[in-house]
Every structure is written in structure tokens, then in C-alpha cells.
């Protein structure tokens, strides 16, 4: 392979949309596994070479760029060392959750460090119980069943809009007691927030930071209304659990409640449905794997894990170094922004033999799609239930699928999603 450094800019969203990121990561893993991306996400370097913040806020101490960890072992090591790599800056580069200006810092589960993270996570666990997962599974089964019957009657559908969003819709209905229409409305809001750079989802004219802030405010408003309407009802739904909780003997503030509702909504809405799309597309692109799965339904669980690895829907998470750390011959300084690239680690040949092969029988498959360590996805079991419910239902129909139009991808380097996946049902498998 060519050892000259290609120009790698991990903030170039178009590279991710075109699928070129896999080649960049192959190169980085081999030649610069601890990589210094020169540009910040969503910002431009200052003329003096340092410290812009896209929102004009307090400058970052790291010169505006960020570190990118791309090898499996380095990514796992950073996830596992939460004292050296803090989550207080939030999981998204250039998002609203930066440490300096970020109001979510320390309040939202994903943007908190121990000991507060531990306490908050204990509270949040109450809405991810087996009973709740079963309830969500039942709603998802019903919603998916309806959608699949309609698809079969019509001979096809847009899987990305007609079927996949029913997974998070079922989760929201089961966890928050929303109606189907309310769930769809909330999914629209989170979709626009994560897709704030995508003209299919939002009007991309104007300042993108403002657009992002507005879409976050809409989600807050949704939950604030819900909180007002619900009053002090008690149950095992998310709002009841959060309003009834206390940390260190103090009830959560309204902001803390809203931030954590938003964490669940964004974490759940923008991941499982996009993973379902990537999984279905992978099966159509690898018909021999689809046939194998069809003949051996006991492979469903390993197949879903392979879909998760293959999709790596949550491409990276962000951390802030709390002290100087030596890694891969480079010195990461205290205060530097560090990104942990799940999508790269999930294709690391040292961990996954034939990593670029989609293999529904792959075991072991210790993919990092849910992260690892104290912040490992709290919704992983729920997501797994949603995905297996869907693919089991598709399996029972004994039909094949073919892509029947242009596949569109979300303009994002954070969530790797498919926004349109036109399908034609091809009859008996």
C-alpha cells in the first residue's frame, strides 16, 4: 500500500457519504493510528493557527484540531480509561456539548463522569428493565408486522422511511407511553438534529450551529410539554423515573430531566433504525449471506451483531484528555479533544479476520458499535431486541429483496445512516 500520507480530514462529511472513509481508516490504522486531524469539526482554523470554536465560544486549549484513535486496541484502551479521557465535553465533535460552553456537561448521562455518571446511570437503568424491553418488543412486533404486510401487498417500499423508523417508534411508545403519531413527531425532531447538515432533512441555508441549537431546543420543548402534561404520574416510564429520582438526596432539576430524555431519544432514535437499513442493504449486497441466514435462522443473533459491526452507525465518540497521555508514540496533552473511531476499530484486521467481509456467522465478534466501559450503550439490549424482532419477521416471509432505486446516505460523520433505501420484493428466496 502507498505509505505517503493521503490528505485525511475526518470532518469531511462527503467522504463518509461516498464510503471513502474505510480506505482512509485502513491507511490511518497502518501508518498513523494516533492521528492529529488538523481541522476542528464545523469550524475553520484561525489565521494564527490555533483554537477556533465554531460557535465563537471560549477557545479550545488544543489548537482546534483533534486526535483520532483508529486501532481497535487503542480505542478500547481510551474507552476503558475514563479518568484520563473525560466525557464531560459530550460525545459529539463540535456539538453543543463542549466542556466550556456546554450546559449538558455533568447533567446528561453520556456527558458525565463518575461519580455523577454512576448515580445517574443507576437511575436510568430503571427504564431499561427486562419488563420494559419486553413491552417495547411487543409494540415493535405489532408495528413491524403492519409495515411488512403493507410492503408485501405493495411489492416494495422505502425501507428507510416505511419500516426502519418503526423500531425507535416502538421504543418510544414502550418507554415513554407516547402514541404512534407523537413518536413519529419526536423521531422527526431527532432526525433533523442529527441530520443538521443534510439538505434532505433540513434547510441547510444559514448558520449550521444555529440550526443545530434550534433543533435541540425543539426536542427540549417536546419533552417540557410532555412533562407539564404528565404532572406527577408514577410508573416505570422514563419521565416518571426521572421525576421520581434523586441524586445525593436532591431531586433532578427540570434541565437534568430534559437532557436525559433527550439522551434517550437521540441515542435510541438515530441508531437502531439506521443499523437496520445498513443490515438489510448488506444482505442484498451479499446474497450468499442472505441465503445462509435464511437456511439457518439460529444464526440471527450472530447476524445482527455482524450488522452492528458492519454498520458502525455511531461512527465515533468524543472524549477530552484530563492529563498528558502517551499513545502510539504521540503525546496527547491535557485538554486535547480525542475521538474514538468505532467504525475504524470495527474493521481492524488485527481484531477481525477478513474485517471487510460481511459474515453472518462471525464469532467471536467483539464489535465496538455500542462502545465499551462505563458508558457502554445502556440501550444495547433494547436495540438488539428491536433488530432481531425485525429480521425474524422478515425471515418468516421467505421472500427476497432487491434494491430498486438510489440509496441515499445521511450527511454526517457521526451517525452513519441511510435516509432512503428503495426496495422491491423479489418473491420466493
What residues line the site for ligand HEM (CB under 6 A)? Answer: 87, 91, 109-110, 121, 171, 263-264, 267-268, 271-272, 275, 308, 313-314, 317, 369-371, 375, 377-379, 382-383
CB closer to ligand HEM, 40 vs 174: 174
Cell, residue 109: 448521562
CB closer to ligand HEM, 52 vs 379: 379
- We find the least distance from the C-beta atom of residue 295 to ligand HEM, in angstroms, to be 26
CB closer to ligand HEM, 190 vs 313: 313
- We find the least distance from the C-beta atom of residue 335 to ligand HEM, in angstroms, to be 18
CB burial of 9-21 (b: ≥16 within 10 Å; e: otherwise) equals ebbbbebbbeeeb
- We find the least distance from the C-beta atom of residue 378 to ligand HEM, in angstroms, to be 4
Distance of CA 367 to the CA centre of its chain: 14
- We find the least distance from the C-beta atom of residue 2 to ligand HEM, in angstroms, to be 31
CB closer to ligand HEM, 378 vs 423: 378
The C-alpha atoms of residue 313 and residue 197 are separated, in whole angstroms, by 17
The C-alpha atoms of residue 299 and residue 293 are separated, in whole angstroms, by 6
Please spell the DSSP secondary structure of 295-328, one letter per residue.
H-GGGHHHHHHHHHHHH-SB-EEEEEESS-EEET
Residue 166's SS3 state is helix
CB closer to ligand HEM, 53 vs 276: 276
- We find the least distance from the C-beta atom of residue 317 to ligand HEM, in angstroms, to be 4
- We find the least distance from the C-beta atom of residue 78 to ligand HEM, in angstroms, to be 10
CB closer to ligand HEM, 171 vs 293: 171
CB closer to ligand HEM, 144 vs 425: 144
- We find the least distance from the C-beta atom of residue 192 to ligand HEM, in angstroms, to be 18
Q: Reduce the secondary structure of 71-123 to three states and give it as a string.
A: CHHHHHHHHHCCCCEECCCCCCCCCCCCCCCCCCCCCCHHHCCCCHHHHHHHH
The C-alpha atoms of residue 163 and residue 194 are separated, in whole angstroms, by 19
Residue least distant from ligand HEM (Cβ): 379
The C-alpha atoms of residue 21 and residue 268 are separated, in whole angstroms, by 24
Amino acid at each position: 500500500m502507498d505509505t505517503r500520507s493521503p490528505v485525511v480530514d475526518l470532518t469531511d462529511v462527503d467522504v463518509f457519504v461516498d464510503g471513502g472513509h474505510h480506505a482512509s481508516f485502513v491507511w490511518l490504522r497502518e501508518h498513523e493510528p494516533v492521528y492529529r486531524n488538523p481541522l476542528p469539526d464545523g469550524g475553520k482554523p484561525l489565521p494564527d493557527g490555533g483554537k477556533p470554536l465554531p460557535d465563537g465560544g471560549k477557545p479550545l486549549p488544543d489548537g482546534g484540531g483533534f486526535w483520532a484513535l483508529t486501532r481497535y486496541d487503542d480505542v478500547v484502551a481510551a474507552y476503558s480509561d475514563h479518568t484520563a479521557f473525560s466525557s464531560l465535553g459530550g460525545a459529539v465533535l463540535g456539538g453543543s456539548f463542549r466542556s466550556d460552553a456546554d450546559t449538558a456537561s455533568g447533567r446528561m448521562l453520556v456527558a458525565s463522569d463518575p461519580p455523577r455518571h454512576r448515580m445517574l446511570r443507576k437511575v436510568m437503568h430503571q427504564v431499561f428493565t427486562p419488563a420494559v424491553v419486553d413491552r417495547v418488543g411487543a409494540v415493535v412486533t405489532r408495528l413491524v408486522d403492519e409495515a411488512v404486510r403493507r410492503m408485501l401487498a405493495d411489492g416494495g417500499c422505502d425501507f428507510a422511511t416505511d419500516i426502519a423508523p418503526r423500531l425507535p417508534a416502538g421504543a418510544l411508545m414502550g418507554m415513554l407511553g407516547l402514541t404512534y403519531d407523537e413518536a413519529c413527531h419526536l423521531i422527526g425532531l431527532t432526525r433533523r438534529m442529527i441530520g443538521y447538515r443534510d439538505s434532505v432533512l433540513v434547510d441547510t441555508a444559514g448558520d449550521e450551529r444555529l440550526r443545530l441549537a434550534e433543533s435541540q431546543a425543539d426536542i427540549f420543548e417536546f419533552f417540557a410539554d410532555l412533562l407539564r402534561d404528565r404532572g406527577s404520574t408514577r410508573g416505570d416510564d422514563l419521565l416518571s423515573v426521572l421525576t421520581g429520582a434523586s441524586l445525593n438526596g436532591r431531586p433532578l432539576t427540570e434541565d437534568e430531566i430534559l437532557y436525559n430524555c433527550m439522551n434517550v431519544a437521540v441515542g435510541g432514535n438515530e441508531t437502531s433504525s439506521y443499523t437496520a437499513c445498513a443490515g438489510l442493504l448488506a444482505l442484498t449486497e451479499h446474497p450468499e449471506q442472505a441465503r445462509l441466514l435464511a437456511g439457518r435462522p439460529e444464526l440471527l443473533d450472530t447476524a445482527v451483531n455482524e450488522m452492528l459491526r458492519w454498520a458502525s452507525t455511531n461512527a465515533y465518540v468524543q472524549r477530552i484528555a484530563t492529563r498528558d497521555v502517551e499513545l502510539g508514540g504521540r503525546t496527547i496533552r491535557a485538554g486535547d479533544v480525542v475521538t474514538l473511531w468505532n467504525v475504524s476499530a470495527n474493521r481492524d484486521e488485527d481484531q477481525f479476520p477478513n474485517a471487510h467481509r460481511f459474515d453472518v456467522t462471525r464469532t467471536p465478534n467483539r464489535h465496538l458499535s455500542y462502545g465499551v466501559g462505563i458508558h457502554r450503550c445502556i440501550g444495547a439490549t433494547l436495540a438488539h431486541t428491536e433488530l432481531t424482532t425485525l429480521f425474524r419477521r422478515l425471515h418468516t416471509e421467505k421472500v427476497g429483496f432487491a434494491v430498486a432505486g438510489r440509496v441515499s446516505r445521511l450527511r454526517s460523520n457521526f451517525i452513519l445512516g441511510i435516509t432512503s433505501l428503495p426496495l422491491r420484493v423479489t418473491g420466493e428466496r
